[in-house]
């Protein structure tokens, strides 16, 4: 089934894989060596990341190099945009207004 990116990065192993692949493309076997689990377990994580397009395969003989897809990762950046004003402005104007109204009601 089609995975979504938020669910994909929820797992710490998958986040570690993305960190590795952001530096250099790797094969599943090499990735598996980095973690204390079987190759098949890592392979499942790769499948999830691939299905939601966060990584892209590049076949090279019997090996497959997985590349990090920065473009897809940017979707997080876009989602975060809606919250940026919350930490960039000292005060949320609307929130302040509502607090005032609530205080008046009491």
Q: Are 22 and 68 in contact (CB under 8 A)?
A: yes
Residue with Cβ nearer DNA (58 or 74): 58
Interaction mask 7-46, its own copies, x per CB under 8 A: x-xx-x--x--xx--xxxx---------------------
Q: State the distance between the two ends of the chain, measured CA to CA, in whole angstroms.
A: 51
What is the enclosing helix (H) or strand (E) of 63? Answer: strand 63-68
Distance (Å, whole) CA 7 – CA 30: 24
Residue with Cβ nearer DNA (2 or 91): 2
Select the residue interacting with its own copies from 29, 43, 60, 100 (CB under 8 A).
Answer: 60
Select the residue interacting with DNA from 18, 21, 45, 68 (CB under 7 A).
Answer: 45
Q: At its nearest, how many Å lie between its own copies and the CB of residue 28? A: 16
| Residue 41 near DNA by CB under 7 A | yes
**Strand boundaries in 1-106, DSSP class E:** 55-60, 63-68
∠ CA 10-19-64, nearest 5°, is 100
Q: Which residues of the shown chain bind DNA in the complex (CB under 7 A)?
A: 7, 10-11, 13, 27-30, 37-41, 43-48, 57, 61-64
């Amino acid at each position: 089934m089609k995975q979504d990116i938020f669910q994909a990065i929820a797992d710490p192993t998958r986040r570690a894989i993305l960190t590795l692949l952001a530096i250099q493309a790797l094969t599943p076997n090499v990735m598996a060596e980095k973690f204390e689990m079987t190759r098949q377990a890592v392979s499942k994580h790769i499948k999830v990341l691939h299905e939601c397009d966060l990584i892209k395969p590049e076949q090279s003989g019997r090996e497959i190099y997985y590349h990090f897809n920065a473009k897809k990762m940017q979707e997080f950046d876009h989602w975060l945009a809606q919250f940026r004003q919350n930490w960039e402005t000292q005060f949320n104007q609307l929130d302040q207004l509502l607090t005032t109204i609530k205080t008046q009601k009491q």
